[in-house]
């Protein structure tokens, strides 16, 4: 009875919701995308055993696939933490129904894994299992399918809990992300100190499940049961109608943010920008994108690049070696998030403008926020580059100075030409926010470093000139701030009119 009651109300809520047509179109497009990706994964799964036999003759394809389940689960959980929002399921609309809270939590826990997020990777798991069964290993294929399904279930239940924990304690979450990135970088570099990698743990745990070993199977089963039970208990705790009382978890990271905000009005504006980033799905996506590029630059630390390669590379090849890992690794956060500054506040622009904050402090806070984000993107791969003694550290440091000194102020200046309000609670890969003024300000500065690469043939002059330009501009940030304040005062009323018109 409870199941049919909940299903009926979910259907009615979907039909009666505002913008149902747009939601239906999004669902259709998402379904086509899932079919496209799922179809590709099915094809890869069907030929997976042939690929494994070509690369590693004699290896069991199911055991090879099992080695990747744990790294995949961690990466996929991180992706869903950023891309999804809320609890995975929202229990509040159903609390008025004549259904016990425990039964409601159990039913919602059953509904949570039924999503396109799980259907796409499940296609690959099923294809690999079917191919293994056709090759005569039916029992191992079945156990591999159950292991893959368990990983997807664990990711489904862990993602909303991790998201809520990250929202409640952003500083601890940032530290955890830093540790994960460092662990991945150390594993990629392979320092040879005998540490057990995630692949080794996955081979023992899920490889043991595929082989039918008792101990790994018991550990995996107990872990999954404990996670499901923890999710149900956490979901019951989330069924709170009155949210007026402060949460106990808000005393941790919020205290750190409040302490930073008390350092002055500029820091207070930067903290407000950080809270906007961490509390909304769309802005969290920019942070995830920046982390992706940081991981890419960490991967360059294991590439066989020598100083002689940089010296001997022709200009076009040097651009390919520097534009993506150099300019965008440390500058992606400032470019991607900074281009939408003020637009993310456009839906509540009247309240933002009514606050007693001077234009200088407002622009200084946004400048400080993007500078800290650029510094974070620089520091994360720095230990890996130092430990590997990779000459790519020259490129990384050069473009960090340029991004911090030139690109960040230019992006803030370009953001004052935004005229469209953006919704921070949406989950789009990109939001259209074209601005000719912003493009005219930022584009020349993104091209400027390559003039040094084309104009000189010595490495010191090529990268030294870019680094010197960035350092000089970084030292001139007070001058930048005065100019940004005047530019903001000049464009403020045009922004207000544009934001109000875009909401209508």
Chain centre distance of CA 416: 26
pLDDT score, position 62: 87
- Write out pLDDT tens, residues 163-183: 777 655 555 555 565 556 555
Residue 97 has pLDDT above 50, yes or no: yes
Looking at per-residue pLDDT, the higher value among 84 and 497 belongs to 497
Distances (CA, A) of 35 to 120, 214, 464: 8, 37, 49
Encoded tokens for 294: 């940081």
Average pLDDT rounded to a whole number, residues 8-22: 57
Looking at per-residue pLDDT, the higher value among 435 and 188 belongs to 435
Residue 291 has pLDDT above 70, yes or no: yes
Residue 429 has pLDDT above 90, yes or no: no
Nearest of 131, 154, 133, 158 to residue 205 by alpha carbon: 154
Residue 296 has pLDDT above 80, yes or no: no
Q: CA–CA separation, 11 vs 9, rounded Å?
A: 5
Distances (CA, A) of 52 to 59, 64, 128: 7, 8, 12
Average pLDDT rounded to a whole number, residues 7-18: 60
Q: What is the CA radius of gyration of the chain?
A: 25
Query: What average pLDDT does the chain have?
Result: 76
Residue 301 has pLDDT above 70, yes or no: no
342 in the Ramachandran plot: left (φ > 0), alpha (ψ -120 to 50) or beta?
left
Looking at per-residue pLDDT, the higher value among 2 and 465 belongs to 465
Under a CB-based contact definition with an 8 Å cutoff, are residues 376 and 291 in contact? Answer: no
Encoded tokens for 69: 């389940």
- Write out pLDDT tens, residues 345-368: 766 766 676 778 888 998 999 999
Under a CB-based contact definition with an 8 Å cutoff, are residues 484 and 490 in contact? Answer: no
Give 16's contacts (C-beta < 8 A, 6+ positions apart). none
Looking at per-residue pLDDT, the higher value among 374 and 352 belongs to 374
**Prediction pTM value:** 0.60
Give 219's contacts (C-beta < 8 A, 6+ positions apart). 205
pLDDT score, position 249: 40
Residue 102 has pLDDT above 90, yes or no: no
Q: Is 416 helix (H, G, I), strand (E, B) or coil?
A: coil
């Amino acid at each position: 009875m409870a199941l049919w009651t909940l299903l009926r109300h979910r259907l009615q809520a979907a039909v009666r919701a505002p913008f149902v047509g747009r939601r239906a179109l999004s669902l259709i497009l998402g379904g086509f995308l899932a079919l496209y990706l799922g179809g590709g994964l099915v094809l890869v799964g069907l030929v997976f055993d042939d690929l494994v036999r070509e690369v590693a003759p004699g290896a069991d394809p199911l055991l090879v696939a099992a080695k990747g389940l744990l790294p995949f689960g961690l990466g996929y959980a991180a992706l869903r933490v950023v891309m999804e929002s809320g609890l995975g399921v929202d229990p509040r609309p159903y609390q008025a129904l004549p259904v016990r809270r425990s039964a409601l939590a159990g039913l919602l826990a059953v509904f949570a894994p039924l999503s396109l997020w799980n259907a796409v990777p499940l296609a690959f798991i099923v294809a690999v299992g079917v191919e293994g069964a056709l090759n005569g290993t039916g029992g191992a294929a079945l156990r591999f399918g159950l292991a893959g399904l368990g990983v997807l279930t664990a990711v489904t239940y862990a993602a909303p809990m991790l998201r809520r924990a990250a929202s409640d304690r952003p500083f601890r979450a940032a530290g955890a992300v830093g540790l994960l990135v460092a662990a991945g970088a150390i594993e990629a570099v392979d320092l040879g100190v005998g540490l057990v990698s995630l692949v080794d743990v996955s081979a023992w745990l899920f490889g043991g499940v595929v082989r039918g070993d008792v101990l790994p199977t018991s550990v995996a089963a107990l872990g999954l049961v404990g996670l499901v039970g923890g999710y149900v208990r956490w979901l019951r705790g989330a069924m709170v109608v009155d949210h007026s009382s402060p949460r106990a978890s808000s005393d941790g990271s919020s205290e750190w943010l409040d302490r930073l905000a008390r350092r002055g009005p500029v820091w207070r504006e930067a903290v407000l920008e950080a809270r906007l980033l961490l509390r909304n799905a769309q802005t969290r996506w920019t942070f995830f994108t920046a982390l992706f590029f940081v991981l890419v630059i960490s991967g360059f630390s294991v590439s066989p690049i020598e100083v002689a390669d940089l010296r001997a590379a022709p200009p076009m090849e040097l651009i390919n070696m520097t534009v993506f890992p150099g300019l965008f690794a440390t500058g992606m956060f400032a470019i991607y998030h900074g281009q939408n500054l003020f637009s993310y506040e456009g839906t509540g622009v009247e309240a933002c403008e009514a606050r007693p904050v001077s234009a200088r402090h407002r622009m200084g806070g946004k400048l400080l926020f993007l500078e800290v984000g650029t510094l974070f993107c620089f520091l994360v791969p720095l230990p890996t580059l130092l430990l590997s003694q990779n000459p790519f550290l020259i490129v990384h440091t050069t473009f960090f100075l340029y991004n911090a000194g030139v690109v960040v102020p230019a992006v803030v200046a370009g953001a004052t030409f935004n005229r469209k309000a953006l919704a921070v609670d949406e989950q789009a890969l990109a939001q259209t926010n074209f601005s000719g003024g912003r493009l005219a300000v930022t584009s020349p500065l993104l091209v400027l470093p390559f003039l040094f690469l084309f104009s000189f043939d010595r490495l010191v002059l090529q990268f030294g000139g870019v680094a010197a330009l960035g350092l000089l501009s970084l030292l001139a940030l007070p001058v930048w701030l005065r100019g940004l304040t005047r530019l903001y005062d000049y464009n403020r009323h045009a922004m207000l009119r544009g934001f109000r018109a875009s909401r209508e």
